[in-house]
Structure formats: C-alpha cells, structure tokens
C-alpha cells in the first residue's frame, strides 16, 4: 500500500483515502480467472448488462408513465407515439425482459451442467436463485403496468394463486389487491414495487459477485485452480471476450427490438384491460410457461401452487441434494444424459404451458412435472452411488491425463 500502483496523482490521492481504484483494479483488472472458460461463462456478464439496460430504460419510461387505471394504457401508447424515441425505449424494455430471462436461464443451466453450485459455491448459487425469484416478481409486476387485457388477467390469475393458502388465503389476496379485485390500488403498488425491486436485485447481484470472487469462477472441467499457471488476469482476456459476447448478444437483441418487437408479446395486451371480459386463451409470458405448466398439471388448487413454488424451492437446496463430488458433467457420463433430459423436460413444460389444459397436454405435463421433481429429489442424491465417474485431470493447465503431467505433479496427486 505504501507504493501506489497508480501514476495519476488525483487517482493516487483518492485511492489512498478511499481505495476504490485499488478495488476495481484488483476485482476487474487483475482478478485471476481460470483460463479455460468457454462461451457459456459469458452469460453472467450478459445478465449484468441486461439488468443495467432494464434499469436505465425503466427509469426513463417511468418519467413518462402514469400509474392509474384510466391513464396507464394511454400513457404507454403516448410513449409509443409522441415521446421522443419512446417506442425505442419501450421496445428495448419490453424485449429486454425476455432476453434477460433467456440469458439467466442459460446461465442457470450452465451452472447445472458444470456443477457450479457445489462446495464452496453453495451461497453463490443460492443468491443466484434468489435473484431469479426477484426477477420473476419484478417481471410479473412490470407486465401489469401497460394495463392491457393480458396485464389485467395475468395479475388476476397470479394473485389468485395465494387464495389457495388455507384459512388466510382470501384475506391475503384482498390485501395484495388493496380492494376486491385487481384495480387502481393494485396497479399503484405494483408500479411502486416494480420500480424498487430491481434495486434490490442490484444489491443481491453485488452479494452474488462478492461470493463469486471469494473462490473465483468454476470452469468447464470443474476442478479447483491449482496455481497461477491455471489462471489469467480478467483484463484484457475476459474483457475482450465479454465484449465479443456482448456484440453477438446485442445483434440478436437488436434484431428483435427493431424487426420483431412484438414476437414474444401477446396481441391481446394491445387491448385495454376490461374487467368484464376474459380473453379466450390467457397465457403468461413465455418465461413463466414451465412453471405455469406445473401449476396446471396438479389437479388440486393448493397442490398446484405448492408444486409450482416447489419447483424453485428445490433449486435452493440443490447444493445439498447433489451428493456427487465431481462438479463437471464432462466426467459424469450418466448425469450428462440426464442433464439433457432435464433441459428437454423444461422446454416441454414450457410448450405445455402455452397449450390448453386438456387431453394429451394434461397427461404430458404430469409426466414432465414428475420427471422434474424426480430429477432433483431422487436422481441428484442417488445417482452418485451408481455412477462411475471418469478420472479427473490433474489441473486446468494439463487437462489431458498422463500426457504432460510431470513426475512432481504425479507425486502431489498420490498424496491426495
């Protein structure tokens, strides 16, 4: 600390008293990162980018939005028609929600594939699941704000889930609504919460990053970093890789915003909310569809709600459900197959969530729901007892077994 690494005297002066520059230099510049990360490790920074995009466009939209049942729909259309660049900002925000979820879902499945939730990263994972929950709450309340038909009926259906709670359910729903149906009070509180929750997410993201930097990133072969030969400084290697990933991501995002802005939305949401008429097919936004399918798969109201929340709850305890000592699926031949089955199962659930709850769809969604819980509650704890994992390489620098491994390296492995 005596000899500052900064040349600029102003930076030096500030850093001596408030070491923000040292902190940034340490955590963003020199931060040692495994050198073998693949493109799936881009999605963390992309999620951060998406969060910032949503907050910035959201603040700007809130300057032009009116949270009142009589004006909300028209104020959104005023943004689309009269506010300078309003259509651009709103379409970025609207599609940004979908892209945020795409990025986060890929980020989660990457964690599942490479065992990133395992010790010592359990809290890192749990904070991540918490972010997902907060995102879902935020996205749901944001979808209500344009006050279209889907906004209104989505809000009605989802808040009614709480009525399944025995004894106090009805009171809770009335409390959520601030009235006897979804109305102006509901819209106002949803606006307030939709505004504030993203900042709570930022707080949890900071904790997520602190937990990440405690042990550093996991990596595709899932073994711990053995020394500096396994790592490279974050900058310039991962800054440029993240920039490349960001450009690719933005290309997809811009294509959606400029050429297919309503592809992931629903036409009914361009009809103003009407509490007297429910649209023929109400479906939630696509990112909720797998959970919606689980909800409908269970023939009992309370049961459906419990299973739906249970689907997220199992993620919280995943670090203790999975008994395998090997992180990466690359060395778990059987789990690897089940991983892909789980992914397909989730996509199937998403598809079933969009279909009417009748006939074959009900049966399929029950099978898919059963598999989901089988995977987490039975497969994860029991599979390690029957699975024979492949031998792990000695270190990241020497991923091929035996090949470049030196005698001393062999010796250390013996000791282990």
Partner 1 sequence: MSTKSSSKEIKNEGKRDFLIISTYAMAGIGAASVAWPLIDQMNPAADTLALASTEVDLSSLEEGQAITVTWRGKPVFVRHRTPKEIKSAKEVSLDDMRHPETDEERVPNEKFIVLVGVCTHLGCVPLGQKSGDVKGLYGGWFCPCHGSHYDHSGRIRKGPAPTNLEVPSYKFLSENVIKIG
Partner 2 sequence: MIKYSSKLFSNGILKLFLSLIIICFSSVSYGAGEKINYPQLNWSFSGILGTFDRASQQRGLQVYKEVCSGCHGMRLLAYRNLKAIGYNEDEIKAFASENSVSTINDDGEVIERPARPSDKFVSPYPNDKAARSANGGAYPPDLSLIVKARPDGANYLHALLTGYIDAPADKKVPDGMYYNKYYSGNLIGMPQPLYDDGVVYADGTKATPDQMAKDVTAFLAWASEPEMEDRKRLGVSVMLFLLLLTTLSYFAMKQIWAPIKKQ
**Catalytic site positions:** 213, 217, 241-242, 285
Instruction: Identify any residues that bridge with 232 across adjacent strands, giving them in sequence order.
Output: 33
Report 242-261 residues binding partner 1 (CB under 8 A): 243
CA 230 to chain centre: 29
Tokens matching residue 155: 């809000």
Gap between the Cα atoms of 50 and 44, Å rounded? 10
Q: Is 281 in the site for partner 1 (CB under 8 A)?
A: no
- Looking at the Cβ atoms of 85 and 214, the one nearer to partner 1 is 85
Cα dihedral angle (12, 211, 115, 368), rounded to 10 degrees? Answer: -130
78 binds partner 1 (CB under 8 A): yes
Tokens coding 230: 């396994």
189 sits near partner 2 (criterion: CB under 8 A): no
Tell me how far apart the alpha carbons of residues 119 and 322 are, in angstroms, rounded to a whole number.
11
- Contact in structure between 324 and 390 (CB atoms under 8 Å): no
Backbone angles phi, psi at 148, to 5 degrees: -90, -175
Alpha-carbon span 203 to 73, nearest angstrom: 31
- Residue 21 · residue 6 · CB < 8 Å: yes
CA atoms of 261 and 263, how far apart (whole Å) = 6
- Phi-psi label, residue 232: left if phi above 0, alpha if psi -120 to 50, beta otherwise: beta
Name the binder of 381 from partner 2, partner 1, none, CB < 5-8 A by kind: none
Question: At residue 118, what are phi and psi to the nearest 5 degrees?
Answer: -80, 160
Quote the tokens at residue 184: 């102006």
The least CB distance from residue 215 to partner 2, in Å, is 22
Which one of partner 1, partner 2, none is in contact with 34 (Cβ closer than 5 to 8 A by kind)?
none
Does 108 contact partner 2 by CB under 8 A?
Answer: no
**Residue (2 or 247) nearer to partner 1, CB:** 247
Candidates 25, 27, 77, 387; binder of partner 2 (CB under 8 A) is 77
Residue with tokens 């490790």: 41
Cα Rg of the chain, angstroms: 24
For partner 1, how many residues bind (rule: CB under 8 A)?
21
DSSP letter for 120, please: T
Cα-to-chain-centroid distance, residue 348: 19
Q: Give the shortest CB-86-to-partner 1 separation in angstroms.
A: 6
Which of partner 2, partner 1, none is residue 323 near (CB under 5 to 8 Å by kind)? none
Q: Is residue 255 near partner 2 by the rule CB under 8 A?
A: yes
Q: Residue count at the site for partner 2 (CB under 8 A)?
A: 49
Report the nearest approach of partner 2 to the CB of residue 2 (Å): 32
CB 221 within 8 A of CB 328: yes
Whose Cβ is closer to partner 1: residue 36's or residue 184's? 36
236 sits near partner 1 (criterion: CB under 8 A)? yes
Q: How many CB atoms lie within 10 A of CB 322?
A: 21
- Chain residues 40-69 in contact with partner 2, contact rule CB under 8 A: none
- Interface with partner 1 by CB under 8 A: which range of 77-85, 184-192, 357-365, 366-374? 77-85
Interface mask toward partner 2 for 222-251; x: CB under 8 A: ----------x---xx--xx-xx--xx-xx
In the shown chain, the binding pattern of residues 324 to 363 toward partner 2, with x for contact by CB under 8 A and - for none, equals: ---------x--xx--x--xx--xx-xx--xxx-------
Residue of 112, 105, 109, 129 whose CA lies nearest to 328: 112
**Closest CB 208 distance from partner 2, rounded Å:** 25
- Judged by CB under 8 A, the chain residues 3 through 62 that form the site for partner 1 are 30, 56-57, 60
- Of 176-184, 205-213, 258-266, 318-326, the window that binds partner 2 (rule: CB under 8 A) is 258-266
Residue 33 to residue 156: CA distance in whole angstroms: 46
Contact present, 273 and 149 (Cβ < 8 Å): yes
Q: Does 178 bind partner 1 (CB under 8 A)?
A: no
Distance CA 317, CA 280 (A): 38
The least CB distance from residue 88 to partner 2, in Å, is: 7
State the CB neighbour count (10 A cutoff) for residue 68. 14
- Does residue 82 interact with partner 1 by CB under 8 A? yes
For residue 131, the minimal CB distance to partner 2 (Å) is 24
- Residue 240 is a binding residue for partner 1 (CB under 8 A): yes
Q: Which residues of this chain interact with partner 2, rule CB under 8 A?
A: 35, 74, 77, 80-81, 87-88, 91, 232, 236-237, 240-241, 243-244, 247-248, 250-251, 254-255, 257-259, 261-263, 267-268, 270-271, 280-281, 283, 286, 333, 336-337, 340, 343-344, 347-348, 350-351, 354-356, 397
Q: Which residues of this chain interact with partner 1, rule CB under 8 A?
A: 30, 56-57, 60, 63-64, 78, 81-86, 88-89, 228, 232-233, 236, 240, 243
């Amino acid at each position: 600390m005596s000899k500052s690494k900064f040349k600029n005297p102003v930076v030096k002066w500030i850093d001596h008293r408030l070491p923000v520059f040292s902190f940034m230099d340490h955590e963003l510049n020199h931060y040692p990162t495994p050198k073998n990360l693949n493109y799936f490790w881009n999605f963390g920074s992309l999620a951060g980018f998406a969060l910032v995009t949503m907050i910035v466009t959201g603040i700007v939209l809130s300057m032009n939005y009116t949270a009142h049942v009589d004006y909300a729909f028209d104020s959104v259309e005023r943004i689309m028609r009269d506010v300078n660049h309003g259509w651009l900002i709103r379409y970025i925000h609207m599609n940004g929600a979908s892209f945020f979820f795409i990025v986060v879902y890929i980020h989660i499945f990457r964690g599942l594939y490479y065992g990133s939730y395992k010790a010592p990263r359990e809290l890192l994972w749990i904070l991540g699941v918490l972010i997902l929950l907060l995102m879902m709450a935020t996205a749901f309340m944001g979808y209500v704000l344009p006050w279209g038909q889907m906004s209104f009926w989505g809000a009605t259906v989802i808040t009614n889930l709480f009525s399944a709670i025995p004894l106090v359910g009805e009171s809770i729903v009335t409390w959520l609504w601030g009235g006897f149906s979804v109305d102006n009070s509901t819209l106002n509180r949803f606006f307030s919460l939709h505004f504030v929750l993203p900042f709570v997410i930022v707080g949890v993201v900071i904790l997520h990053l602190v937990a990440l930097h405690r042990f550093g990133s996991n990596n595709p072969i899932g073994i711990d970093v053995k020394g500096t030969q396994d790592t490279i400084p974050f900058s310039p290697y991962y800054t440029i890789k993240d920039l490349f990933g960001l450009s690719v991501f933005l290309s997809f995002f811009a294509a959606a915003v400029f050429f297919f802005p309503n592809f992931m939305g629903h036409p009914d949401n361009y009809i103003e909310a009407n509490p007297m008429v429910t649209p023929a097919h109400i479906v939630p936004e696509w990112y909720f569809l797998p959970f919606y399918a689980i909800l409908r798969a269970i023939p009992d109201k309370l049961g459906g709600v419990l299973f739906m929340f249970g689907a997220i709850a199992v993620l919280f305890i995943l670090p203790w459900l999975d008994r395998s000592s090997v992180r990466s699926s690359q060395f778990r031949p059987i789990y690897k197959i089940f991983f892909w089955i789980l992914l397909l199962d989730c996509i199937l659930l998403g598809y079933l969530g969009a279909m009417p709850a009748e006939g074959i769809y009900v049966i399929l969604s029950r099978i898919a729901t059963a598999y989901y819980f089988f995977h987490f509650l039975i497969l994860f704890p029991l599979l390690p007892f029957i699975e024979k994992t492949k031998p792990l390489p000695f270190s990241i620098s020497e991923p091929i077994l035996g090949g470049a491994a030196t005698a001393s390296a062999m010796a250390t492995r013996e000791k282990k």
